[in-house]
Structure 1
Amino acid sequence: MAELTIRKMELEDINQVMFVELSSFTSPWTEEIFIQELKENQHAHYYIITIDEKVIGYVGMWIVLDDAQITNIAILPGYRGQKLGEKLFRFAMQRAISLGVTKLSLEVRITNIVAQKMYRKFGLVPGGIRKNYYTDNQEDAIVMWVNLL
């Protein structure tokens, strides 16, 4: 049976995280951005999900005081549709709550209905639109948020 683990992202994980990133986004982050997040951003919290030590996804968030912002979340395409994104997102929410977060927010592409449905399962609701938010195609983002109290 495959061993599923969620743990803190380490610098040694970045090569595998980059494979997830490049497989998931049209405007992927660079390796340097991940290194900077892990080494220099005191507000950054990144976690990976692995199956048998293979990184199949990750989630990142910034926590400032009692407010969390999900920066990104991705699951390798071959592992989607198995509720692994939900498991990873639930972990991030629980981690945020344990760190004293009371509000959580994120941006999601207006066309990403699958992600929006998942976020709604966790109580997130639309709170506004960021016009031309995505640099690859100027697509609008929906800001979604939830009060964790």
Structure 2
Amino acid sequence: MTKENISIVSFSNDHIDGIMAIDKLSFSLPASLDYYKKELQNKSAKYIVATKNGQILGYAALWLIVDEGHLINIAVHPEYRGIGISKMLLDELIKICKNFNITSMTLEVRASNNVAINLYHKYGFKDSGIRKGYYADNKEDAIIMWKKDI
């Protein structure tokens, strides 16, 4: 598959099942249906979805807090990884931040997730600390990263 004809759209109720399927394939502790229903009502949450021909390929989530964007998740279905969907999603999150006058972005990433860490470094995110034992499933550390001057 190529990136052609992939659309980035705003999250809606119609996307919940597809996002939950990606979560189950991507995370040891996937989010619940109630979580996503609440996020749809959360005015600070901005979710986007990568779709092609009605199929959900990936999604990204961001919380806007004052002048900061907190990147919550970027996840791509395993069958569609490696073709640039994460970059498309991250580009769109940065545009959203600019539209809301957000001046910096932050995130936590598993210390072992080298693919994600490398992507964030390419986008100018800098390591700024460690959250020891951050992940509940295995107590893995999280690297805190910041991107200033969006």
Which range, TM-score by smaller chain? over 0.9
Q: Equivalent residue for 2:141?
A: 140
The reply to whether residue 9 of structure 1 matches residue 7 of structure 2 is no
Q: How does 1:1-149 map to 2 (within 5 A)?
A: 3-39=5-41, 41-149=42-150
Listed as ranges, the gaps of 5+ residues in structure 1 are: none
Deviations 1:2-43 (A, max 9, x none): 52100100012101111111111011111110110112x221
**Aligned-partner residue type, residue 114 of structure 1:** V
Among all aligned residue pairs of Structure 1 and Structure 2, give the percentage whose two residues are the same amino acid: 33
Shift of 1:73: 0.9
For residues 45 and 135 of structure 2, the distance between their equivalents in structure 1, rounded to whole angstroms, comes to 21
Q: Tell me if structure 2 keeps the 8 A contact 1:58–1:75.
A: yes
C-alpha RMSD over aligned residues:
1.2
Partner secondary structure for residue 97 of structure 1 = helix
Name the TM-score, length of structure 1 as normaliser: 0.96
Deviation at 1:95, TM superposition (A): 1.1
Q: Tell me the number of residue pairs that the alignment of Structure 1 and Structure 2 aligns.
A: 148
Unaligned stretches of 5+ in structure 2? none
TM-score normalised to the size of structure 2?
0.95
Aligned 8 A contact 1:63 1:69 in 2? yes
**Matches of 2:33 and 2:48, distance apart in 1:** 16
Q: Residues of 1 paired with 2:24 and 2:149: CA distance?
A: 32
**8 Å CA contact retained: 1:97, 1:148:** no
* Offset at residue 110 of structure 1 (A): 0.2
